[in-house]
Amino acid sequence: MDLWGLKPGDQVHTIDGARVEILKETEDGRWVLVRYLESPKNPGIVGTEDLCHEDELLEPTSKNPATS
């Protein structure tokens, strides 16, 4: 996935079915800081922040209207 178009507040699904919110724009085009909003396979990570690689993310599920 192309991370350059993602802005803070956008929501994206991961390849393992989690839904994450973008917290910070990418700096290198490969990694982006996210917060887990839901994770059916691993509920313990909900609310945590982590870096996601471009290969882990699918297309955005919703765009932040303030930045679209």
What are the 10-residue block averages of pLDDT along the chain, 68 residues in total?
93 96 95 97 97 94 71
Strand ranges for the chain from DSSP E? 11-14, 19-24, 31-38, 49-53, 57-62
Spell out the domains of the chain, with CATH numbers in brackets.
3-62 (2.30.30)
Q: In this predicted structure, what is the pLDDT of residue 68?
A: 53
Q: In this predicted structure, what is the pLDDT of residue 40?
A: 96
Q: In this predicted structure, what is the pLDDT of residue 1?
A: 84
Q: In this predicted structure, what is the pLDDT of residue 4?
A: 94
Interacting residues of 65 by C-beta distance below 8 A, sequence separation 6+: none
Q: In this predicted structure, what is the pLDDT of residue 64?
A: 75
Q: In this predicted structure, what is the pLDDT of residue 65?
A: 65
